[in-house]
Structures are given as C-alpha cells and as structure tokens.
Amino acid sequence: MTVTHIADRRARDELARLMERFARRPRPIHVVKKSAYWHQRAAGAALFAVTFGGQHKYLSHYVTTLGHTIYVPDDFDDWAPTRALEILRHEAVHVAQFERYGWVVMVLFYGVLPLPMGLAWFRARFEWEAYEETLRAVAEVEGLAAARAPALREEIVRRFTGPDYGWMWPFPRTIERWIDEALVKIEGELAQSEPSTPSAEKR
C-alpha cells in the first residue's frame, strides 16, 4: 500500500469522525452545496465584478463558511478524503470565529475593515488562523514534508496576495514568516504527541 493510500484511508476515517462531531454539536455544523443557495450565487457574481474577473471560481472551487453552515462546491462528494478533511478543518476554524465574535463583527471586520480590498488586515488574520489549521491538518494526515512542500507554501501566499480573497494582504514576506512560525509550532506539537519509546530495562 502506497503512502498516498495510507493517508487517504486515515483521512477517510478522520473525515467520518469530523462529520459526526459536526452533527453532534449543540449547534450542529451543516455542510451544503453552495450552488443551491441564491445568496451564494449572488456573492459569486459580485466577487467576479469587484475583482475584475479575477475571482471567477467562487461557486465551483471555493468553500465558504457563514455562521454554522459550510457551503461547498457541487463536486465536493468526489473530492479525495485528504482534501475534504483538510478543508473542513480549515472551515471549522471560521465556524469557531463566528461563535467567538458574532455575525456583526465577522461581517464588518472580515468584509469591510480597515479596507475591503488591498489592506484587509482583519480578513488576513482571520484567514491566517484557519490556514494554520490547514497546515496542521496536512502535517497530521500527510506528514510534515507535505506541510513544508514549496507548492503548498506558494499556494497559501498566492491566496493571500491575489484576487481569491480580494488581495487582502499584499506583502508576501509577512505570509512567509507566518508559515515558518506555524511550521515550527506544529512540528513541536507533533513531537509532543508522539509516544515516547520506553527505555531498555537494566540488565
């Protein structure tokens, strides 16, 4: 069995447990198809307009969380379990943010303040909290090497500095530093969670 197959099997089991936890919460988290909701279709059209076509995959490629609902693309059920698990763990952070700050703060600070585009500091910080969990999920499921992969780093930097989130933070070095700090933290967490090897009995 390949490393990929082992990671997928582990992710499939963990994904099932995560969905069970979502359902059993006092306020359940619902995972629904984005295209079925008019407000998500309207949001996709609005984002296409304000980003001058830069964000044209909102409905087909991106996951959005509002309150206790996670809106996913129509092909979500066909995603590899590793991808689905890592993204849902990311989105669960946004659910926790809604619970912590409430709708008014999330809408104002995520969407508007200090600027809706270009220097959206609060949006960047909200997203960074979630992307740190993405890195943690990747490290736990696929291994630290996968979390450190240059392609993943480049993708995260691109998300922060590009049109996906409305150019929310145009300073790639800041994102690079956050990634480096998170990887050190996650590596330490994983080292602490590993079972210690018992010392050999004295003869």
Residue 31 is which amino acid?
V
Q: How far apart are CA 173 and CA 130, in angstroms?
A: 18
Q: Would you state the pLDDT for residue 57?
A: 84
Which residue in the block uniquely carries the two structure tokens 């993405």?
134
Whether 142 and 7 have beta carbons less than 8 Å apart is answered as yes
Asked whether residue 198 is assigned to any structural domain, the reply reads: no
Asked whether residue 203 is assigned to any structural domain, the reply reads: no
Asked whether residue 43 is assigned to any structural domain, the reply reads: yes
Span 12-38, average pLDDT: 95
Asked whether residue 197 is assigned to any structural domain, the reply reads: no
Asked whether residue 62 is assigned to any structural domain, the reply reads: yes
Asked whether residue 168 is assigned to any structural domain, the reply reads: yes
Asked whether residue 161 is assigned to any structural domain, the reply reads: yes
pLDDT-based confidence at residue 198 (cuts at 50, 70, 90): very low
Q: Would you state the pLDDT for residue 108?
A: 94
Query: Among 16-30, 80-94, 114-128, 147-161, which is the least confidently predicted range?
Result: 114-128
Residues near 103 by Cβ (< 8 Å), separated by ≥ 6? 67
Total number of domains constituting the chain: 1
Whether 51 and 166 have beta carbons less than 8 Å apart is answered as yes
Q: Would you state the pLDDT for residue 115?
A: 81
Asked whether residue 81 is assigned to any structural domain, the reply reads: yes
**Torsional class of 53: left (φ above 0), alpha (ψ -120 to 50), beta (otherwise):** left
85-113, pLDDT tens digit by residue?
A: 999 999 999 999 999 999 999 999 998 88
Domain of 48 in residue numbering reads as 3-191
8: its two tokens: 């997928």
